[in-house]
A and B are shown apart, each in its own frame.
Chain A
Amino acid sequence: MSARETTMTEIRHSHGAPAADAPPALPRLLHGIRAQGASTLAEHLALHGPLALGGSGGRRRHQREHAAALIDEIELSGLTGRGGAAFPTATKMRAVAGARGRAIVLANAAEGEPASLKDRTLLETLPHLVLDGGLIAAEAVGADELIVCACSSAAAGIDAMEVAIAERADELAHTAHAPKVQLAIVPSHYVAGQETALVNFLGGGQAKPTFTPPLPFEQGLRRRPTLINNVETLGHVALIARHGSSWFRQLGTPTQPGSTLVTLSGPVAHPGVYEIENGASLSSLIDAAGGTTARVRAALMGGYSGAWVAGERLGGVALSKEHLAPHGATLGAGIVLLLSEHACPVAETARAARWMAGQSARQCGPCVHGLDAMADAFDAILTGASGARGMQRVEALAALSTRRGACAHPDGAANMALSALEVFAAELADHARHGPCESCSRAGELPLPLRPLDAAEQEPAA
């Protein structure tokens, strides 16, 4: 395995020296971040230099050429979306740019996955980098509005972004064709950040997915073409626009260039958000976090819609699409959850399955019933009530939950359940036969807020 060792910066301990030059290595996004609080506009400009919105002053033809060149550069960089789907960013931008009507850009930080903290971290620490990326994206697709969508649970991020938008008001007022920039606060439940749910919510509806087509890039918010990019993706866009695609490709793998933010949790000395080179080894990430504090039983890669990978297979794992594929896993939105040997993997999976069921938008029958039944099936295994049939039941329910919802939420829950069947086969069989183990009564290790959808919906959306 040719995992490339790399240095990583833990956010709390990062002290990058300000420099206007492109940082050649890591950290990139997290370069020069403060130990606490957000970089001010002055600090941001000292570090990165001014943002050249090249086409904004010139004639319309010049603008169009500049926009096309921006998208070309992003295409050359090979940047893919960091919200979990890893869709090529330039392809998305080109589709929006080519759609009929004036576009809108949504900077998506509606981070409903409790195991991910990177989006709120970016809002909290680097709001101007996010805004730069949003402004460039708006220029690239010809948008006249940029809406930063923050998760309602990210209070510090919301505050920092409010201040940052106010700091930019002057600059934007004096820039021709600058988009109107707003902040929207989105409910904190899991599917609220899904693209159609975001469009639905901002349009006055509930933060729940809708049935597509049309997809948002054709007809999104107010029926206008809508570009929805994760805020980390936009952070990379801001750097690519300044330093170019070749610079971006100096890190990462040929198919997955650049760096990625990863939220690491579990039995490590310093859990948190790290910037890694794509393709870095998992062990280098764990080292950067101060090493493990207990033996690792398994990892849930990609979060609660991701896949379990057994601890004994983690040694050689590199954090790239190609290296994770044989394990049936992806990094998703950059999430690595480690489970210690002290935890019961069956109890943890049952909790995760119940949580995913609770996060259903409760719109599509197969998701409502399938995910509840899947959580029930894991509970029955856990308590020894299911007998040997319990695992077959989970498998059948996973099949019934796949590709049958308006969004991929049930698919994600099924994916996680199926990986548990494989990785924890022995433990599941043991519980199904003999009931709870000694570790079952321990408090859950996986970070799962008790946040049912209905409660989240009632949160004030200012």
Chain B
Amino acid sequence: MSHRVLVNPITCEAHGMCAELLPERITLDEWGYPIIDDTPLHGSQVEHAMRAARACPTFALLVQKERAPRRERTPARG
């Protein structure tokens, strides 16, 4: 079972903790919002990702287990 990092873009407030704690996966855009590499995490990165998720002040960072289907994006207009 592999893990991926994702962000809830609605609750994210660009505190930037995630990029500090998981720089191998997360960089920040020019406004401070995370740009995430959402390919499966390597084994040793999972614990770091979990720590970053716990440190997020708005709990916007999520570590998702691979078995669940990847987040489906809904169309802007139904």
**Interface residue from A211, A228, A403 paired with B78 (Cβ < 8 Å):** A228
Residue A193 is within 8 A (CB to CB) of chain B in the complex: yes
Task: Give Cα A195–Cα B35 distance, bound, in whole angstroms.
Answer: 25
| A405 & B9 in contact (Cβ 8 Å cutoff) | yes
| B78 & A230 in contact (Cβ 8 Å cutoff) | yes
Task: Give Cα A364–Cα B35 distance, bound, in whole angstroms.
Answer: 13
Residue A25 is within 8 A (CB to CB) of chain B in the complex: no
Residue A340 is within 8 A (CB to CB) of chain B in the complex: no
Nearest residue, chain B, Cβ from A403: B73
Q: How many A-B residue pairs have CB under 8 A?
A: 98
Residue B56 is within 8 A (CB to CB) of chain A in the complex: no
| B9 & A364 in contact (Cβ 8 Å cutoff) | yes
Count chain A residues whose beta carbon lies closer than 8 angstroms to a beta carbon of B.
Answer: 44
| A408 & B73 in contact (Cβ 8 Å cutoff) | yes
Residue A35 is within 8 A (CB to CB) of chain B in the complex: no
Per-residue CB contact flags for chain A residues 297-333 toward chain B (1 = under 8 Å, else 0) read 0000000010000000000000000000000000011
Task: Give Cα A83–Cα B77 distance, bound, in whole angstroms.
Answer: 6
Residue A448 is within 8 A (CB to CB) of chain B in the complex: no
Segment 399-423 of A: residues with Cβ below 8 Å from B = 400, 403-409, 411-412
| A108 & B76 in contact (Cβ 8 Å cutoff) | no
Chain B residues within 8 Å of A211, by CB: 8-11
Per-residue CB contact flags for chain A residues 189-206 toward chain B (1 = under 8 Å, else 0) read 011011110100000000
B49 CB to closest chain A CB (Å) equals 18
| B9 & A83 in contact (Cβ 8 Å cutoff) | no
Nearest residue, chain A, Cβ from B32: A365
Residue A18 is within 8 A (CB to CB) of chain B in the complex: no
Per-residue CB contact flags for chain B residues 7-51 toward chain A (1 = under 8 Å, else 0) read 011111110000000000000011111010000000000000000
| A85 & B75 in contact (Cβ 8 Å cutoff) | yes
Nearest residue, chain A, Cβ from B70: A213
| B10 & A212 in contact (Cβ 8 Å cutoff) | no
* Residues of chain A whose beta carbon lies under 8 Å from any beta carbon of chain B: 81, 83-85, 87, 108, 110, 112-113, 190-191, 193-196, 198, 209-213, 215, 228-230, 305, 332-333, 363-367, 369, 400, 403-409, 411-412
Could you pull out 24 A-B pairs where Cβ atoms are within 8 angstroms? A84-B76, A84-B78, A87-B75, A193-B77, A194-B75, A194-B77, A195-B74, A211-B9, A211-B10, A212-B72, A212-B73, A215-B74, A332-B77, A333-B77, A364-B12, A365-B12, A365-B14, A365-B33, A366-B31, A366-B33, A403-B73, A404-B9, A407-B76, A409-B76
Give the 8 A-B residue pairs with the shortest CB-CB distance, closest first. Answer: A364-B9, A85-B75, A365-B33, A408-B76, A369-B31, A195-B78, A84-B77, A409-B76
